[in-house]
Amino acid sequence: MQMESMNKNLLISPCGMNCGICMAYLREKNKCSGCRGSEKDKTVSRLECKIKKCDKLNSKFCFYCEEFPCKKIKHIDKRYRIKYNMSMIENLMNIKNSGIRKFLKNEKIRWACPKCGGTICVHKGICFKCGK
């Protein structure tokens, strides 16, 4: 696997969030390195994430757990479906069924700005490159 692919794999959190489309990752000031990245300069909410710190999380993704989808995943999935039109459970099932490479390829297409090709932020709904 190429180094670039490995780095992109690290941007997919255990809950199925693509950190590469997150406002905290895309912004310039106080940039987050993603859920699997360095703990340096992360906000308390990311450091204390209940899913990331789950004692039953003994693998790379939550879908490996016997309790998947648990209450924690269902809660964040519902919030993201309502507020941002994205499903963590759907992301995890896509990774499970199609693999991380295909998921990343589809994410790149799904979140690409039609104007400039930059990345559309899931939280803001705008391209962080051109602002459209």
User: Please, are residues 121 and 114 in contact by the beta-carbon 8 Å criterion?
Assistant: no
Average pLDDT over residues 94-101: 95
* Residue 62 DSSP class: G
Residue 120 resides in a domain = no
Average pLDDT over residues 14-31: 90
What's the domain count of the chain? 1
Asked whether residue 120 carries a pLDDT value surpassing 80, the answer given is yes
pLDDT at 8: 67
Residue 80 resides in a domain = yes
Asked whether residue 3 carries a pLDDT value surpassing 70, the answer given is no
Asked whether residue 7 carries a pLDDT value surpassing 70, the answer given is no
Residue 23 resides in a domain = yes
Asked whether residue 20 carries a pLDDT value surpassing 90, the answer given is yes
Asked whether residue 12 carries a pLDDT value surpassing 80, the answer given is yes
pLDDT (tens digit per residue) in 27-80: 888 888 888 776 666 666 666 778 887 888 777 899 999 999 999 999 999 999
User: Please, are residues 49 and 33 in contact by the beta-carbon 8 Å criterion?
Assistant: no
User: Please, are residues 115 and 132 in contact by the beta-carbon 8 Å criterion?
Assistant: yes
The helix/strand/coil state of 64 is helix
Whether the model clears a pTM of 0.75, i.e. scores above it, the answer is: yes
Q: Which domain holds residue 74?
A: 3-110
What percent of the chain has pLDDT above 90?
60
